[in-house]
Amino acid sequence: MKKVILVTGGSSGIGKSICEYLHTRDYKVYGTSRNPDRYSDFDFNLIALDVTDEQSVERCIAEVMDQAGRIDVLINNAGAGITGPFEEVPNSEIRKNLETNFIGPVSMMKAVLPIMRKQNSGKIINITSIAAYMGLPFRGIYSSGKAALEVLTEAIRMEVKAFNIEVTNLAPGDFATNIAAGRFHSEVDPNSAYGETYGRILNEINEHVDSGRDPLEVAKAVEKIIRISQIKPHYTVGAFVQKFSVVLKSILPQKIFEKLLLRHHKL
Ligand SMILES: NC(=O)c1ccc[n+]([C@@H]2O[C@H](COP(=O)([O-])OP(=O)(O)OC[C@H]3O[C@@H](n4cnc5c(N)ncnc54)[C@H](OP(=O)(O)O)[C@@H]3O)[C@@H](O)[C@H]2O)c1
């Protein structure tokens, strides 16, 4: 029997790559979009979902259960970027981002866990970010939301272990997707105290995403996690230097690591 995989945010970037790859590997794949009607040429099923709307979450899960009768793997991929000088990012945008990047995955996990408990099996893979491991300047809100999801995963793992459910994080480095287009970013204001540094770093962030790696790499990492048993709490995927930064953060004295980040960003 084909494993049933639900991937939030299957319309573009990493989520689309995951859906396409798993579809070719003989899984039954359900991707999602807030506007599924916009996409007609997808090989996998694309259903409606806004992770910030609990009724939409319920409808999405019900639709998969109606069609497939089970959910073996949930991949919490839907997410959005947010950049800006912390002082200048409106709280309304911070709330919106955390609703998508943190509360959204929370709602999805709460909705699938009863199903997975009944099945006495299941896997949840939360797509976080290397940025979750370190507070990055002008990306503090993004780092925080992803870090919250990383730590929540550690806790949930222990609660659901008895039901044969495994939960993990997969943290990508930079991958070439549409994330910059959908991201909230504060305007670079030449009159702002942060105008020069933020403008420079925003350019760097955009260049990194544009020159990022092929999201197929993330899809392959996801499939590996689906196949193996006794998965670890945390995985990373991406360029060596980005994965290595996570290792450095865990072994270097805090002041040294911060100095490296300051030097890297010329702050
Ligand atoms: N690209 C990178 O370098 C990178 C690095 C680290 C982590 N990530 C993470 O990887 C994940 C995918 O990002 P991406 O780079 O592939 O970005 P992307 O190309 O912008 O794709 C984002 C996906 O999320 C969906 N989405 C956005 N808001 C949603 C909402 N409220 N409800 C449901 N779906 C929603 C979008 O679908 P619709 O617009 O069709 O609804 C789209 O399919 C995100 O969690 C991101 O934080 C990306």
pLDDT of amino acid 179: 87
Q: Please state, in angstroms and rounded to a whole number, the distance separating the CA atoms of residues 58 and 206.
A: 35
Query: Residue 181 above 90 pLDDT?
Result: no
Q: Is 178 in the pocket of ligand 1 (CB under 6 A)?
A: yes
Q: What is the pLDDT of residues 17-30, one digit of tens each?
A: 999 999 999 899 99
Q: Is 168 in the pocket of ligand 1 (CB under 6 A)?
A: no
CA 220 to chain centre: 15
Q: Is 182 in the pocket of ligand 1 (CB under 6 A)?
A: yes
| Spatial contact of 151 and 162, defined as CB atoms under 8 Å apart | no
Distance, CA 69 to ligand 1 centroid (Å)? 26
Residue of 133, 138, 161 whose CA lies nearest to 148: 133
* Domains identified in the chain and CATH numbers: 4-264 (3.40.50.720)
Query: Residue 200 above 90 pLDDT?
Result: yes
Residue 230 per-residue DSSP state: S
Residues 131-147: what's their mean pLDDT? 97
- Under the banding of pLDDT at 50, 70 and 90, the label for residue 221 is very high
Distance, CA 131 to ligand 1 centroid (Å)? 15
Q: Is 127 in the pocket of ligand 1 (CB under 6 A)?
A: yes
Residue of 226, 25, 11 whose CA lies nearest to 124: 226
Residues 250-261: what's their mean pLDDT? 98
pLDDT of amino acid 180: 86
Distance, CA 101 to ligand 1 centroid (Å)? 9
What's the pTM value of the predicted model, to 2 decimals? 0.97
Q: What's the longest Cα–Cα distance across the chain?
A: 61
Nearest residue (by CA) to ligand 1, atom 33, is: 50
Share of the chain above pLDDT 70, in %: 100
pLDDT of amino acid 210: 84
Q: Please state, in angstroms and rounded to a whole number, the distance separating the CA atoms of residues 74 and 108.
A: 8
DSSP per-residue string spanning 74-101: EEE-----EES-GGGS-HHHHHHHHIII
pLDDT of amino acid 237: 98
Mutate to test the pocket of ligand 1, among 77, 146, 216, 246 (most ligand atoms within 8 A of CB): 77
pLDDT of amino acid 208: 87
Catalytic residues: 142
Q: Which residue has tokens 């497939």?
A: 68
Distance, CA 251 to ligand 1 centroid (Å)? 31
Joined together, the tokens standing for residue 75 give 């991949």
Q: What is the pLDDT of residues 66-109, one digit of tens each?
A: 999 999 999 999 999 999 999 999 999 999 999 999 999 999 99
pLDDT of amino acid 28: 98
pLDDT of amino acid 209: 84
Q: Is 142 in the pocket of ligand 1 (CB under 6 A)?
A: no
Share of the chain above pLDDT 90, in %: 92
Distance, CA 148 to ligand 1 centroid (Å)? 17
Give the HSE-up count for residue 164: Cα atoms under 13 Å, Cβ half-sphere. Answer: 9
Which backbone phi and psi does 172 adopt, to 5 degrees?
Answer: -80, 150
Q: Which amino acid is residue 262, in one-letter code?
A: L
| Spatial contact of 174 and 208, defined as CB atoms under 8 Å apart | yes
| Spatial contact of 167 and 121, defined as CB atoms under 8 Å apart | no
Q: Is 242 in the pocket of ligand 1 (CB under 6 A)?
A: no
Residue of 88, 123, 158 whose CA lies nearest to 231: 123
Q: 150 to each of 17, 43, 60, 105, how far by Cα in Å?
A: 22, 31, 24, 11
Name the average pLDDT for the chain.
96
Residues 192-197: what's their mean pLDDT? 94
- Under the banding of pLDDT at 50, 70 and 90, the label for residue 159 is very high
